[in-house]
Each structure stands twice: as C-alpha cells, then as structure tokens.
Structure 1
Amino acid sequence: MGEQKRKQEQKPEPYFIFEKKNYQVMLIGIAVIALGFLLMTGGGSDDPEVFNPEIYSWRRIRLAPMLVLLGFGIEVYAILLNPKKK
C-alpha cells in the first residue's frame, strides 16, 4: 500500500527550460528580426540591364540591419532572463 501512494505522488511534471515570460520575450525578438528582414526585401529590378538605386535606400542599409541586430539582442536577453529572481 505504501508503494502505490509513492507512485501516485511521483507524477512527473512537464520540464521546460524557460518560463512563460522567457518565451514571450523570445517571440517579441523573433518578430523584430522578421520585421528587419521584411524591410530589407525589394528594391531590385525585373530587367537585369536596368539599375535601380532604390536598393541603397536608408531603410535597407541602416534601419533593417539595426532591427535585426536589436532582435538578436532581445533573444540573448530572453535566454538570460531569470523571471524567478525579484
């Protein structure tokens, strides 16, 4: 009878490496990275003989890469975040 009680008490709980807050911050980081890559798209030309200077716009050269780097920084923060610490 004692063994049955111990087996009932030892129900394995799901093991997650991170807490809910970590995953929320990770999703924010992924969204920022995706936004950066979306801002980098476009600017090309359908005709290979025609040069489109729009490929060197401020949005594609400065803003989008900074958003991608910011997103990676958010991801590192999400991994190192300890929500249990107050």
Structure 2
Amino acid sequence: MAKDKSYGSPTLTRDEPAKKTVVTTTPVTRTVPTRPLTGEPTRRADPAAALPFGRRNYTLMLIGIGVILMGFFIMSLDKEEFGFGFLGLTLGPLVVISGFMLEFFAILARPARA
C-alpha cells in the first residue's frame, strides 16, 4: 500500500485490492421501540377527539348546505325568460353566497371545548 504523506492514512492504488479489517467489540444491547404489527393507527382514548370539527361546526355546515340548496331553488322559481327576473338575478345568488359564507365560517370556527 502506498502511504499518503500529507495525512498519514493509507490510500489504495489500482493494483492493490482493498483489505477488510474486522473489529470485534462487545455486543451492545439496545431497547428497540415496538410497533403494532397490524398496521392499524393507534386509537385515542377519547373518541370525540378523533373528529376534526365539533358538533357546532357540523351543524353549521349542514345549515350552510341547506341555505345553498334553498338559493338554487329560489333561482329556479323565477318565471322570467332565461331567469332574468328578480329571483334569478338578485335574490337567489345572494342566498347562495350567504350559504357559502356560512360554510366558510363553519369550517374556520373554533370547535367548542367540552
């Protein structure tokens, strides 16, 4: 083996194969954390904590969906040609927009703490 003079560590040339050095040490025992073998997610103690929203959020979401559907129903009641009356152009879209605003509020509202 040729020696590298700057660092003092041996370097291999193309002609020399690498030699393996076996170092024996005493066995080290480590505790390995165990995982469930089934692959199922761990369950929380409180089943209500698993839901991302609270009861108030889901109630507001259902009300918002109802308001949106009511707005589309109001738009369908317009008797003018192509829905160009007050119900189709003004009242119905305002009700639909208010339903979407209610949905936005229902998603962003902080769930009630029990």
- For residue 39 of structure 1, report the CA deviation from its aligned partner: 1.2
Hey, which bits of structure 1, 4+ residues long, moved more than 3 A?
Answer: 10-14
Tell me what 1:38 maps to.
Answer: 73
2-structure distance, mates of 1:75, 1:21: 12
2-structure distance, mates of 1:23, 1:58: 32
Q: For structure 2, list consecutive stretches of 5 or more residues without a partner in the other structure.
A: 1-41
Residue 69 (1) aligns with residue 97 (2): yes
2-structure distance, mates of 1:55, 1:62: 10
- For residue 84 of structure 1, report the CA deviation from its aligned partner: 3.1
Describe how 1:17-56 pairs up with structure 2 within 5 A.
Answer: 17-41=52-76, 53=81, 55-56=83-84
2-structure distance, mates of 1:53, 1:84: 47
Q: Structure 1, residues 6-26: CA drift from partner, whole Å, max 9, x if none?
A: xxxx85344111000000000
Distance 1:61 1:84, change over 3 A: same
Equivalent pairs counted in the alignment come to 69
Normalising by structure 2, report the TM-score: 0.52
Measured on the aligned residues, the alpha-carbon RMSD in Å equals: 2.4
Q: Which has the higher contact order (CA 8 A, sep 6+)?
A: 1
Question: Rg larger in 1 or in 2?
Answer: 2
Percent of residue pairs bearing the same amino acid type: 35
Letter in 2 for 1:57: G
Q: Structure 1, residues 25-54: CA drift from partner, whole Å, max 9, x if none?
A: 00110000000011112557xxxxxxx537
In terms of fraction of residues, the more helix-rich structure is: 1
1-structure distance, mates of 2:103, 2:68: 10
Letter in 1 for 2:106: A
Letter in 1 for 2:59: Q
